Amino acid sequence: MQASFSRPAAATVLAIALATVGLGSAATPAAAATIPAGAGSYSDSRPAGTSGPTTNTGAPVTPKLTAAARDKPVPTNDWWTSLAYQRYGDNPYSTPMYGHPLTYQATSGGLEVGYPTNPAVVGDGRQYEYPHKADLTVGLSGLNSPDTKADDWSDWTVTPYWSDGARTLRTTIGHGMPFVYAKGSGGDARITTAGTPAVFADNGNVLGITVAGHHYALFAPTGSDWTVSGTSITAGLGGKDYFSLAVLPSTDALATYRKYAFSFVTGSRVSWESTGGTVKATYSLTTEAKEGTERGTLQALYRHQWLHTADALTPYTYVSPRGTMKVRESASFTTSQKNSGVMPALPASSGVDKARLTGYLNEVANASDPFSGASDTYWTGKALGRLAQLVPVADQIGQPGIRDKLLGLMKGRLQEWFTAGGASEFSYDRDWKTLTGYPASYGSDTELNDHHFHYSYYVYAAAIVAQYDQAWAADSAWGTMVKTLVRDAANPSRTDTAFPFLRGFDVYAGHSWASGHQGFAAGNNQESSSESINLSAGLVLWGAATGDTALRDLGSYLLTTESEAITQYWFDASQQVFPSSFGHDTVGMVWGSGGAYSTWWTANPEEIHGINVLPVTGGSLHLAREKAAIKRNIAEMERENGGPAVEWRDLLWEFESLADPAAAKSKWDAGNAGYSPEQGESKAHTYHWVATLDTLGAPDMTVSGNTPTSAVFAKNGVRTYTAHNHGSTARTVTFSDGATLSVPARSTATGTGTGGGDPDPDPDPSTGNTFRLKSGGVLTTATDGAAGADTVASADGVNRDGTPYKPTVYEVKNVDGTLATGTSTTFRLRVDAGTTVGLAPQVRVSYDLTGDGTFDRAETFRYFATDPVTGWEEYTQAVGTKSVTGSLGALRGGTVRLEIWNALNSGTSKVQTGTDGAVLKIPYV
């Protein structure tokens, strides 16, 4: 990001020998000055005259960890990082940490806990915040610790540690956790309140209090008793070492929360999969029963999570800077979203004048200095990104000479950085377990800021090179250095001892954080969400180009998740997040405590709005999902700016074209002659982008392909489908509306698709007689549920043709309808047998006309021959019926049931739910 005075630039050591492949950890040489990484290398010590992480006074600083955590890589850019990074020498505890719904700050006497519910608008109306204010402090009698250290952490939880020699205290806190779990020794449990508490329940070891208008429950071991004396509340632990507290949504929730008071959270973990155009993620907590046997818990889901889960939620809610949080009574939940596609470039279109575009391309390729004097990691990255956008464009219009010249420039500069000992290099810091590029910029070295921003450009550029030169991207060549940067900024491994898991990406918050020290009263922050997306898009393209499906799918998970967070928390697309007192439709920066209409370096509205757009790439298409929000965004920018964009007009034209291509093209036509491109842009790219979308229409985000490198555009009711195939054999891409597109090997294909939108025999999405399959065994006419997939059991090696065996069942009751003459049952299902051969999914649709429990009609369809290639396949009634029993008649309170099972072989398969590809249409009106 441009001038990010608070973002982290991760510098992570990667000990990889010449033969090392993949992203697995490798032994670090004991005292090597230069560490080989394929054809490249990095150093294990900083270049002379440079600095690593420091305090605010410039003194070197090392991680603040307990002995138990000392060898564990620290995820430096997180919501709780100030526990480990002592940025300010006079504060050895922490700055405020925003877990949501609770906020925290470590002090000498323990952990301050707050629940801010009233927003403040500050800075001339440019920032809203729910600032930390302690309602109470969790500690032990007499505790006076000289510091607080990080003792343990997992994907979204952390355990701070206090010790004063006589007493020790550990607390476990996390995102979405209404509980604080404490373990202490050497003193009684002590809760110090900010004001005299009002007691609303006193049941010995369970105490309900209200402080500052917020309700809390305190839980001591069975047999203990809380004593209230002014603002001090204590309880002897009776030889135990545990106690807990919870913030309650209301006083009548005490009984529910008491149930989980001693089910202590010990860890958190996310898992994800990207299959058939859907990204599914499961968020799980591990627990330990301190008393009894209860292992469940309560967790509060952010808006970007509960919008995309089909899991049951309680009526309980909390206030947060991210809007309403909803409570789930379980140790896990799953989200499901359509994959946000990434393209190497927009597809070819008739609206692009090739001669004009060639002229623009030559301006870049023949510039005296295509890198514009860039020397540090950020500005070098920006220049690499500018060139990378043009390579597939040049190839697309038949200019291989320009394409290869641009590729040569990119390779040369990447190789300079990927080789230790020159004017630019990457260096590993063993204390912080990070890889930093020197020359550094914007605190990427001294504050560990922005690594995901800076390195996103290198990964994306390398992915474009790999698309055209696979040998260059091999591990034995330059691929190992690319993967080293990935390990630093977005490591998918939890066992890698050289780099932390997903350094800056907060899996529960749904987005990345930029500051490496989190040393602010407002918590951590992220400004350029779009540069974070740039890394995810680079992972998708790199993984696809090199055949690394794990990295490709990691990129899909990160991009799809952060896209929804951006939609809700940066752009407030649903207008349900920003406080009503905040007079803006977007923010330039998201903070732990709220958001700000600002940037780190300017108050210029163009840059406040543009900073979450750049760089515009084939990974930016996700922004088109909320077209009304884009139009509000542009309108606000022009109001604040006193007119259309001038300084960053190209970025904002491209942004507007995602919602209103004609308006953007009109602005380009009127203003393209007299402007200087933004430094990551070029006239070639902007012209190609704006002209292409004006021709094909804006991205249609209601439809997705079953490969992450695909997209759909729509204009005047006509859809254009496109996909890139990085593989060595041709493939057919299937889209969620049923359209298919044949894509040759190592090529981009574009067309109107085949099979898409045909209403017969494929049913349309839900109407009164059309039902979607919903996970949990439901048929529903609702169209707003989350996409998902259910498992279809194995046939266990026996031929089950015609006879349901362990079927996955979907049902709807109390259905009324009149039989429509001349119609019949239709369905559209998406099934996937993975890599298993011939599982033969089979469907039976049954009708109980009166709801009396007896099915009057059963239609069994022929099974569907699946292929052994991972990806969704379309199964419809067009296969024909195998058998039909009974007769149809009027439905009066009737029941309709769909069963699907595997008829052959061994192995489970999947059936999609919650989408237009999971539909049953009955022959009734």
DSSP secondary structure string for all residues of 73-107? PP--SSTTGGGT---STT-SS---EE-SS-EEEEE
Residue with tokens 């810091």: 429
Q: Cα dist. 346→351, 543, 563, 704 in Å?
A: 12, 19, 19, 16
- Do 167 and 221 form a contact (C-beta atoms < 8 A)? no
CA gap 594, 566 in Å, rounded: 13
**DSSP strand E in 10-53: where?**
34-37, 40-43
Which DSSP category does 720 fall into?
Answer: E
CA gap 115, 177 in Å, rounded: 12
Q: Is 870 exposed, middle or buried (0-12, 13-18, 19+ CB in 10 A)?
A: middle
Residue with tokens 């109107």: 752
- Do 291 and 253 form a contact (C-beta atoms < 8 A)? no
CA gap 5, 444 in Å, rounded: 9
- Do 116 and 130 form a contact (C-beta atoms < 8 A)? yes
Q: At 688, which amino acid appears?
A: H
Q: At 31, which amino acid appears?
A: A
Question: What sign results for the dihedral spanned by CA atoms 675, 678, 679, 681?
Answer: negative
Q: Among 43, 243, 255, 273, which residue's Cα sits nearest to residue 140?
A: 243
Q: Give helix then strand counts, H and E, for the chain.
A: 14, 50
Classify strands 179-185 and 168-174 as parallel, antiparallel or unpaired.
antiparallel
Q: Cα dist. 551→77, 344, 532, 537, 541 in Å?
A: 21, 16, 16, 11, 9
3-state helix, strand, coil in the chain (%, to 5): 20, 30, 50
Angle, vertex CA 707, rays to CA 705 and CA 710, nearest 5: 60
Task: Record the tokens describing residue 68, joined without a space.
Answer: 């138990």
Q: Among 709, 745, 744, 705, which residue's Cα sits nearest to residue 549?
A: 709
CA gap 423, 836 in Å, rounded: 52
Burial 695-711 (b: 16+ CB within 10 A, else e): bbbbbbbebbbbbbbbb
> CB count, 10 Å around CB of 367?
12
Furthest C-alpha separation in the chain? 86
CA-CA-CA-CA torsion for 69, 508, 834, 907, nearest 10 degrees? 70
Q: Is 868 exposed, middle or buried (0-12, 13-18, 19+ CB in 10 A)?
A: exposed
Residue with tokens 């050591």: 13
- Phi then psi for residue 43, to 5 deg, are -100, 160
- Phi then psi for residue 301, to 5 deg, are -95, 135
Length of the chain: 925
Residues labelled catalytic:
450, 527, 531
Q: Cα dist. 620→293, 534, 537, 541, 845 in Å?
A: 48, 8, 8, 13, 42
Q: Cα dist. 226→179, 240, 255 in Å?
A: 18, 15, 17
